[in-house]
């Protein structure tokens, strides 16, 4: 792939401050792309900046940030090859206990933010026969107890991706979904801290009802982060989704994602309930 400014292809990666997004930005730059890496803070920009990686301040819930990104794409002399929608937050809490504003915040970041960025960049992607790569999750196929907020956004992202793929396929554009299982990134630690914060705000009755479940959930998250794939390994799959000549509509990352996406299709709900409960409890 040539790397002259006149012809070099550009890829946008949102949520590139750390973890999977940062690893994907580095891997795509290594493969010869110019990567616009969306970060939320100046210190994150300093950390990710490297040859082929240009940090851009991007909070996907802020229209002005998205407008600035679209303007940067408009002035780029090469093609926009792909948009990797990776920005997300993990919110884990029992359905009853999570304030509605927290539900809305999760959807704003994990779903509406992705839609807003995609809408802004879609004209450029269509001009260059680019593609959208949406980072979903195993949680977009199977919703574990306490994962309603996060899984709700990922189930919705899966549906939105299907609809968009069917709309733009006749126009020569691909839409790909990547479904990671456990990956060793900072999001796990942040999820545990967020769960603890939300648990502290529960009423005594709610803590009695759900306290043991949340403890088991946090233990399961910690175990997954310890045993999951590295971010660099996961980034290889995302890079494949960006570069494959004929990409699949979906890629899984890790044995757990591959297994549970199949179980979700094959098993009755009650049996899947028992399996997911055992997964959280570790039994």
Q: Which of helix, strand or coil describes residue 177?
A: strand
Q: What is the DSSP letter of 38?
A: E
Ordered domains of the chain (ranges, CATH)? 10-281 (3.40.50.720)
pLDDT value at residue 6: 46
Distance, CA of 47 to CA of 38 (rounded, Å): 12
Distance, CA of 120 to CA of 83 (rounded, Å): 11
End-to-end CA separation in angstroms for the chain: 50
pTM: predicted TM-score of the whole model, two decimal places? 0.91
pLDDT value at residue 7: 56
Annotated catalytic residues are 150
Beta bridge partners of 114: none
State the angle between helix axes of 204-227 and 269-281 in degrees (0 to 180), rounded to the nearest 10: 80
Distance, CA of 19 to CA of 235 (rounded, Å): 9
Q: What token pair was written down for 116?
A: 């807003």
User: Is the separation of the CB atoms in 198 and 157 below 8 Å?
Assistant: no
pLDDT value at residue 282: 59
Distance, CA of 277 to CA of 56 (rounded, Å): 41
Report phi then psi at 38, rounded to 5. -75, 125
Furthest-apart CA atoms within the chain: distance in Å: 63
CA 191 to chain centre: 14
Q: What token pair was written down for 176?
A: 């790909």
Torsional sign, CA 232, 250, 160, 54:
positive
- For strand 131-135 and strand 183-184, is the pairing parallel, antiparallel, or unpaired? unpaired
pLDDT value at residue 2: 40
Distance, CA of 135 to CA of 139 (rounded, Å): 11
pLDDT value at residue 1: 41
Find, among 253, 207, 18, 20, the residue nearest to 97 by Cα.
207
**Does residue 52 come out as left (phi exceeding 0), alpha (psi in the -120 to 50 range) or beta?**
left
Q: What token pair was written down for 55?
A: 């940090």
**pLDDT-flagged residues of the chain (< 50):** 1-3, 5-6
Report phi then psi at 97, rounded to 5. -95, -15
């Amino acid at each position: 792939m040539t790397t002259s400014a006149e012809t070099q292809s550009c890829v946008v990666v949102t949520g590139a401050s750390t973890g999977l997004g940062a690893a994907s930005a580095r891997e795509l730059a290594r493969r010869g792309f110019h990567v616009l890496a969306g970060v939320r803070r100046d210190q994150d920009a300093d950390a990710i900046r490297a040859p082929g990686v240009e940090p851009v301040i991007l909070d996907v819930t802020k229209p002005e940030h998205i407008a600035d990104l679209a303007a940067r794409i408009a002035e780029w002399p090469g093609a926009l090859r792909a948009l990797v929608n990776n920005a997300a937050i993990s919110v884990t809490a029992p359905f009853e206990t999570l304030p509605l504003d927290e539900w809305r915040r999760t959807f704003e970041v994990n779903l509406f933010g992705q839609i807003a960025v995609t809408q802004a960049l879609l004209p450029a992607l269509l001009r260059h026969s680019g593609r959208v790569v949406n980072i979903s999750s195993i949680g977009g196929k199977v919703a574990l107890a306490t994962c309603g907020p996060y899984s709700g956004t990922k189930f919705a992202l899966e549906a939105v991706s299907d609809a968009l793929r069917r709309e733009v396929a006749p126009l020569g554009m691909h839409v790909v979904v990547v479904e990671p299982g456990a990956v060793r990134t900072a999001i796990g630690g942040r999820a545990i801290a967020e769960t603890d914060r939300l648990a502290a705000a529960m009423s005594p009755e709610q803590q009695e009802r759900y306290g043991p479940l949340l403890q088991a959930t946090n233990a399961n998250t910690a175990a997954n982060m310890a045993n999951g794939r590295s971010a660099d390994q996961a980034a290889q799959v995302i890079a494949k989704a960006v570069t494959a000549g004929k990409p699949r509509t979906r890629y899984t990352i890790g044995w757990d994602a591959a297994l549970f996406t199949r179980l979700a299709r094959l098993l009755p709900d009650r049996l899947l309930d028992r399996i997911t409960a055992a997964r959280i409890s570790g039994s």
